[in-house]
Amino acid sequence: MMARDTYPRPELVRENFTNLCGQWEFEFDFGRSGRERGLPQKSHLERTIHVPFCPESKLSGIGYRDFIGACWYRRTLTLTPEAGQRVLLHFEAAYHTTEVYLNGVSVGVHRGGYTPFCFDITEHLRTGENVITVCCEGDPRSPLEPSGKQSDRLMSYGCMYTRCTGIYAPVWLEVVPDTYLASVKLDPDPDNSRLFLTLTFCGNAEKTVSLEASLYGRKVGAVTAKTTQQTLKTVIDLETLSLWSPESPTLYDLDIQVSAGSGMDKVRSYFGMRKVELDGVCLRINGKRVFQRLVLDQGYYPDGIYTAPDDDAFRRDIELAKRLGFNGARLHERVFDRRFLYEADRLGYLVWGEYANWGFDHTNSGNLGIYLSEWVEAVSRDYNHPALIGWCPFNETWDRDGRKQDDSLLREVYRETKRLDPMRPVIDTSGNYHVVTDIYDVHDYCQDIDAYHRRYDRFEDGEVFENRPGRQTYNGQPYMVSEYGGIRWSDDEASWGYGDTPKSIEDFVGRYVSMIEILMSNPRICGVCYTQLYDVEQEQNGLYRFDRTPKFDENVMARLAAAMQKQAAVEEIPDA
């Protein structure tokens, strides 16, 4: 069976943890009656499942594909708590509403299907054997549950895929002192060779906090501070500045020690020194214009659905994209695994953070609180990653049953995102329908090259191509074609893609190369995102198959890569 045995949180690592992935007891609860039937206290569930794979997946050992209203998990854990320690139970993600029980007593509830959560279970532990029971409830057909690309029909169709219910990411446990580091927020200031830090603690004792930054094993900065508060803001001045960029993704190591009366908490982290700006036309990283050569990545796996079979899968997907000349990706309609973002940091791969907004009712401003509570957790989780260059909380906010999007809802989510992160650009809703946005992006799956020339060869007098006139207005922002292509290439007549299928490989190459050459030749276009990196189930318009094997021979793949790697016109414009 595939293993997910690496420490799940690479940006905040402790030396010891207990991996709870593996075999759990499992039971379906189609009627959501499990609590009435006493499942939190039940001594045995009906079957087993391999966590962290969802019950719809092959790797779970179950592979049940119909709707699952609720499901239950159970496993035992032998643990003897010691004085002065806290025991934290972590879930990286579970869909959608999760209640956790320890020894039959509820220890907490989390709502939201895409972000981590943690419960302090110390007070409910008993010496020796303990029982963890978990109930997950969700319905991707509910308008109050963001569900992304999970199909709202029995089977997958179009660009909607197999559902993912219950636990689908690592579960783990760690023991910490009574006073410990809960989170750290990192704000690099490369102009002044400084790193600003905001540390948050659990525990009320007086704390001595020591921080040390190192580069290639050599200490380059340190600071020590004392505090009795739950939050500490401080700064590390760096003796040596080495910038993070796609070409040279330098990462510093960061060691943090929190000393209090109950003991010492030691945590390892890392950071990159880089700044992201918009200059009115293009994105700049460390002052240099960067044309975004992005690819759409859905984050699906043939046998694991939302869950990669192993940690190397994240690196492999990034390397596949880079071989084709892409310098980044839209992480589409979900929140990707933290270890994917770690590999992006390490490999210099630019990413946009998104959320699974499809399925959610964005036409009612009364739903704002539900969406924000989930989205804010995603922003907080991924804030520190240098590879993450922008946020996009919504994608294609189409009309629902004749009702238009509530513009105030999108505006407030944009504003809250900018409040949480004033440094990165924010796209309010990718493609349509813009309300307030830092980059004006469009989605265009036109397959007619003559029409492409008419739309994108040049923009005159401040005008741009707009495929949603009357519903959104361009106001001079940097302009991006953030979905295009989607060229279907498959032997399966029942497969799905955009437009007509090319008649030959040469036709495919000609269309692919022409599209990117036209878009890159326009000095007003700051980036593109090709749909998509690999096929997903019946949507077979990827450059790789679902199993990540290439669709074309090495020569053809090299021609596609060469087209994507050419210099874009916006990169040739002299710096202002």
User: pLDDT, tens digit, for every residue of 465-477?
Assistant: 999 999 999 999 9
* Confidence band, pLDDT 50/70/90 cuts, at residue 499: confident
For the chain, the distance separating the N- and C-terminal CA atoms, rounded to the nearest angstrom, is: 56
Helix, strand, coil % over all residues of the chain, rounded to 5: 20, 35, 45
**Cβ(351)–Cβ(386) under 8 Å?**
no
Instruction: Report residue 213's pLDDT band, with 50, 70 and 90 as the boundaries.
Output: very high
395 forms beta bridges with 430
Calpha distance 165→96 (Å, rounded)? 7
Q: Which domains does the chain have, with CATH numbers?
A: 22-169 (2.60.120.260), 180-271 (2.60.40.10), 290-572 (3.20.20.80)
Tell me the C-alpha distance between 521 and 531, whole Å.
20
State pLDDT tens for residues 418-445: 999 999 999 999 999 999 999 999 999 9
φ, ψ dihedrals at 70, nearest 5°: -160, 155
Which of 86, 82, 81, 79 lies closest to 181, judged by CA? 86
User: How much is the average pLDDT of 538-549?
Assistant: 98
In this structure, the chain runs to a length of: 576
- Which of 2-11, 189-198, 396-405 has the least mean pLDDT? 2-11
User: How far from the centroid of its chain's Cα atoms is residue 278's Cα?
Assistant: 22
Among residues 166, 160, 140, the alpha carbon closest in space to that of 56 is found at 166
- The CA–CA distances, whole Å, from 161 to 41, 140, 152, 154, 299 equal 35, 11, 9, 10, 11
DSSP state of 40: G
The type of residue at 163 is: R
Q: Report in angstroms the alpha-carbon separations of 95 from 4, 139, 279, 284, 337.
A: 19, 9, 39, 36, 14
> For residues 60 and 369, what is the distance between their CA atoms, to the nearest angstrom?
33
Output phi, psi for 235, to 5 deg: -145, 145
On whether the CB atoms of residues 424 and 389 are closer than 8 A, the answer is yes
Q: Residues of the chain with pLDDT > 90: what percent? A: 93
pLDDT at 41 over 50: yes
Give the three-class secondary structure for 315.
Answer: helix
Average pLDDT over residues 246-251: 98
Rounded distance, CA 227 to CA 98, Å?
A: 35
CA distance 362 to 365: 7
Give the sign of the dihedral formed by CA 298, CA 301, CA 306, CA 308. Answer: negative
Nearest CA among 431, 432, 455, 445 for reference residue 541? 445
- Model confidence at 60, in pLDDT bands (50, 70, 90)? very high
Amino acid 574: pLDDT: 59
Q: What is the mean pLDDT of residues 490-503?
A: 89
Contact 199, 232 (CB under 8 A): yes
Distance CA 494, CA 485 (A): 19
Q: pLDDT band at residue 2, thresholds of 50, 70 and 90?
A: low
How much is the pTM? 0.96
Contacts of 384 (CB under 8 A, 6+ apart): 11, 184, 185, 186, 269, 271
DSSP string, 377-432: HHHHHHTT-TTEEEEE-EE----BTTBPP-HHHHHHHHHHHHHH-SSS-B-SEESS
Output DSSP code: residue 450: H
The residue among 429, 413, 433 whose CA lies nearest residue 421 is 413
Per-residue tokens: 278: 């918009």
Q: Is the pLDDT of residue 576 over 60?
A: no
Q: Tell me: pLDDT of 558 over 50.
A: yes
- Residue 528 reports pLDDT greater than 70: yes
Reported as a single tens digit per residue, the pLDDT across 291-345 is 999 999 999 999 999 999 999 999 999 999 999 999 999 999 999 999 999 999 9
Q: Is the sign of the CA dihedral 489, 493, 496, 502 positive or negative?
A: positive
Burial 427-447 (b: 16+ CB within 10 A, else e): bbbbbbbbbebbbbbbbbebb
* CA–CA–CA angle 237, 243, 247 (5° rounding): 170
CA distance 557 to 47: 45
pLDDT at 572 (0 to 100): 77
At 559, list the tokens.
């021609």
- Measured over the CA atoms of residue 216, residue 218, residue 223 and residue 226, the dihedral's sign is positive
pLDDT at position 258: 98
- What b-and-e string marks burial along 136-160, b requiring 16 or more CB atoms within 10 Å of the CB? bbbbbeebebbbbbbbeeeebeebb
State the DSSP H helix or E strand holding residue 509, giving kind and residue range, or none if neither.
Answer: helix 505-520
